[in-house]
Structure 1
Amino acid sequence: MSANLDEVWFLTSELESERASSFRQERWCRIFLEAGARLRLFNLRGAFHYSDEICTNDAELTAFRKNGVANYKGPKTSVREGLLVSVLRLIKHWLLVDLYLPNVIKLFLHLDRLLRQRSAPVVIMASSPPFSTALVGALIKRRHPGKVVLAIDMRDAWALHESLGGFKPLKRALERKVLGCADTVTTVSMGLADGFRQQYGLETGVMYNVATHYLDVPPAERMDLRQVHPAIDPSRITLVYTGSAPEDFYDSASIMGAYRRLRQEQPELAARLQMIFIGACVAVERDARDHGIATPDVIFVSHLPHAVARSVQATASALIFLGYRGPNNGGVVSTKLFEYLCLGQPVLPFDLCKDSDVDQLLWRYCGTSINAHGVEATLALFKRVAQEGTGFLPRLDDAQRVRELVDEYRAHAKKLLAG
């Protein structure tokens, strides 16, 4: 296609919520609008419905997001917990249920009908997960090759994800085929890009999860953390984690084991620290219980509204970052890291691999990083925080520095719209 394109169809599932991944999708949408494109949003809702909304400016996108969040009935967190959920997740990945849900089929038929009715080509960006959006995009591309520039944004691995179940050979074959249909593929880290290259021979662009939703708003207000939980002690060094902690993703056992050792060996130092986990953290809570760590040394709070969680982050002494348990941390770079950096808060990383994406980003923007693995190294890190405070931890002094990473989104959007 030689002519410039002026319309983008965005396939996704979380734009009408405040789940963490929704902010990356919103970022792409605003970048396309900024580039002058007309935006048409197709947002899957549950198993049976999807939204079809046209946005031509930021105000319309903001209104769509606001209305969607107000009426959102789905899960608040990125990770759902419980035995039934685990069983259903296992079934989903083995039977690939999310690829043929009723609304996925209806979306494919709807897009096919729309393209048959028009002559002008469009850019389709599919944001995965769910991988069903990428599948729909690939099928539409194959059906209308001359009318579609297909971009797939892999916010996470699907078949290559070590912690997801299913029949791996089938999933990898399908992932290879679907991604091979795309004109461009982007992802969230160099680690994931390396995985796609090694497994599929696929070159992908890397767009880090810059927390523009923290950069483009007034500074977060500090708060009395006792409003969140009465056992929080402002006189202690508060180490806060906000977000989900899926089963088997993180080495929380070493964290709790190290704190138990600190309490046994130097209780006066342990008394200076207080860990606070906010969100779906059942696995961490179990590890704390198994090691005899309880309130007030560690506190667990259920999901908080986004604005409140941001104030909690801004008030904490330091913010905990959990490195994914896997080679090179599995290439995982969550939005959480950039939220922490944009707040200018000290970052306390656990189980962070040397030269992983997050390690390199901390060196790049903070001038230092920490690689503490296992009980002994974590114990030493706890001792240092208790004795010295948080001044030695990685911290970004000027949040505006990460704006340079948003330019990579802009460059990619312009390339797509150029046809």
Structure 2
Amino acid sequence: MKKVLVISYYFPPAGGPGVQRWLKFVKYLRDEGYEPVLYVPQGAAYPVTDESLAAEIPPGLTIYRGRIVEPSSIFSSGKKISAGFIDASSGKKGWKSRLMTWVRANVFIPDARMLWIRPSVRRLKKILREEGIDTLISTGPPHSTHLIALGLKRADPHLQWIADFRDPWTKIDYFHHLPLTRWARRRHFRLESEVLARADQVIVVTPSMARDYRPRVRGRLHVITNGYDTEDLPDSPPPLDEKFTLCHVGSLNADRNPYELWEVLARLRAQDPAFRDDLRICLTGNVSPAVFETLRKNGLDDCVQHIPYVPHAQVVRSQHAARVLLMLMNRTPDGALYIAGKLFEYLAAARPVLLVGFAHSDAADILRECRAGYALDFSDREGLEEALRNLYRQYRLGQDTGRETDPQSEKYTRRALTARLAREVLACPPEHPSPEES
């Protein structure tokens, strides 16, 4: 089988959403005739870990681990943080925290994993030669992985480089919060543009990202979304929650705080004693204090259950047990660019989805395509109330117990997406010669 090097920051024992995409690609690539060879960090400060995911690593997989030094562990005072950039909300804290945020935003570019770049390039030159590999894939964020690949491409222009963007770089939801100097902002844009121009092929996860990146990509540009793994689905679905449970899985930061939804729920509770007794809001994952404060102000704190983190298998079961799954988008200028990975697991759960954010977006289009629920704008209080009344009525009448997935969702299985990766990306020659050859 042809070997392909995959450079990824996230890999088990890392938990959370960032690990899922390439863990699943690696899981199924052998079925498509490719042998993945992994390069991942040793000693990474992952924000969450999930030891259970190690069971999904294919037997005999070659994994090289490169020691990483992360200044994030210093700047966060021992607190584990998410990859990519920083916790921009720290700017609201004391001067020491603001100073650390400024340093991390303007010195550690593109992210706090930048110290991993040079030693990785040196080591991977040897690994590529010894393994006889001529195709490499970098996946980010953190985007330091792309700069490792860029260094290898500069050293050997004949390497075929595929850059996979799970999220945008300079249009990531928190980028506009960062206290960036003009120099740092320009450097981010320059590095992003160089990666897009030098990669032989670029993969993004949404059509909107593809439209945004197209002018700067010299090679082939592909859209391969995230998806769901049928092997993750429970053998027998768990019983549905007795309460009218609205379930959100994943990080719920201040930009995703759906205060209009909380207001509508508070009004419905005030109007209907039965709704008041039946409503339960389950939030699994990191939740911003601003969200809890909004819930408290709306008198909803008594019906909220918060679960900071659970293994992925338990997350899947909670999705299948929920009465309604909440899909909350970022209230940011580029929020419509995103399709959160959880949307595809929601489709697999075959429970009604209530999307609050951008009614005209890629995520909303998929929801409608698969006839999986409601897609409403943030400010559409009337639409939110109507949707919630309909969902609650179905719950009370016992008409929300169906668990059949729409056939349209089958193209989002991890097996199908890996087959596309092999057929449309790995099997295709680059569309242009490397700059040194042209």
Do the aligned partners of 2:210 and 2:221 also contact (CA within 8 Å) in 1? yes
Shift of 1:168: 2.8
Shift of 1:346: 1.8
Give the C-alpha shift of residue 198 in structure 1.
5.0
Separation of aligned partners in 1, 2:418 and 2:340: 15
Counterpart amino acid of 1:25? W
Confirm or deny that 1:110 pairs with 2:120.
no
1:193 touches 1:205 (CA, 8 Å); kept in 2? Answer: yes
Choose 261-270 or 35-44, whichever is displaced more: 261-270
Partner of 2:209: 192
Alpha-carbon distance between aligned partners in 1 of 2:296 and 2:425, rounded to the nearest angstrom: 48
Q: Unpaired runs of 5+ in structure 2?
A: 47-56, 66-77, 432-438
CA distance in structure 1 between the partners assigned to 2:81 and 2:60 by the alignment: 24
What is the match of residue 342 of structure 1?
348
State the distance in 2 between where 1:262 and 1:174 align. Answer: 49
Cα drift, residue 123 of structure 1: 0.6
State the match for 1:53 in structure 2. none
Alignment of 1:270-281 (within 5 A): 270-281=276-287
Task: Give the superposition deviation at 1:32.
Answer: 3.4
Q: CA deviation at 1:30?
A: 3.2
Identity of aligned residues (%): 20
Question: Structure 2 length as normaliser, TM-score?
Answer: 0.76
Aligned partner of 1:262 among 268, 273, 289: 268
Unaligned runs of 5+ in 1: 50-56, 66-72, 226-233
How far is 1:130 from its partner? 0.8
Q: Is the Cα contact below 8 Å between 1:352 and 1:359 reproduced in 2?
A: yes
Deviation at 1:245, TM superposition (A): 1.4
Contact preservation (8 Å) 1:196, 1:203: no
**Inter-CA distance 394–32: structure 2 relative to 1 (3 Å threshold):** closer
SS at match of 1:141: helix
Q: Equivalents in 1 of 2:123, 2:299: separation in Å?
A: 55
With structure 1 as the length reference, what TM-score do the two structures score?
A: 0.79
Q: Which residue of 2 aligns with 1:373?
A: 378
2-structure distance, mates of 1:127, 1:328: 21
Q: Map Cα deviations across residues 132-189 of structure 1 (whole Å, 9 max, x no partner).
A: 010110111011112x110000000111224222343321111001221100000111
Aligned to 1:60: 60
Indicate conservation of the 8 Å contact 2:327/2:356, yes or no.
yes
| Partner of residue 386, structure 1 | 392
Give the number of aligned pairs: 386
- Paired residue for 2:70? none
- Matched residue SS, 2:281: strand
Code of the aligned partner of 1:12: S
After superposing the two structures, state which structure 1 stretch, 148-157 or 279-288, moved more: 279-288
Q: Is the 1:19–1:78 Cα contact (8 Å) retained in structure 2?
A: no
Q: Which residue of 2 aligns with 1:288?
A: 295
1:307 partner SS = helix
**RMSD (CA atoms):** 3.7
Q: Which amino acid aligns with 2:298?
A: H
For residue 359 of structure 1, report the CA deviation from its aligned partner: 1.5
What SS does structure 2 have at the residue aligned with 1:124? strand
State the AA in 2 paired with 1:195.
D
Distance change (3 Å), C-alpha of 1:348 and 1:219: same
CA–CA separation in structure 2 for the residues paired with 1:199 and 1:140: 20
Match of 1:362 among 364, 367, 377: 367
- The separation in 2 between residues aligned to 1:262 and 1:239, in whole angstroms, is 14
- Measured in 2, the distance between the counterparts of 1:75 and 1:197 equals 35
Cα distance in 1 between the residues matched to 2:411 and 2:269:
39
Please tell me whether the aligned partners of residues 336 and 358 of structure 2 are also in contact (alpha carbons under 8 angstroms): no
Distance 1:10 1:235, change over 3 A: closer
Structure 2: how far apart are the matches of 1:342 and 1:335?
12
Please name the residue that 1:33 is paired with: 30
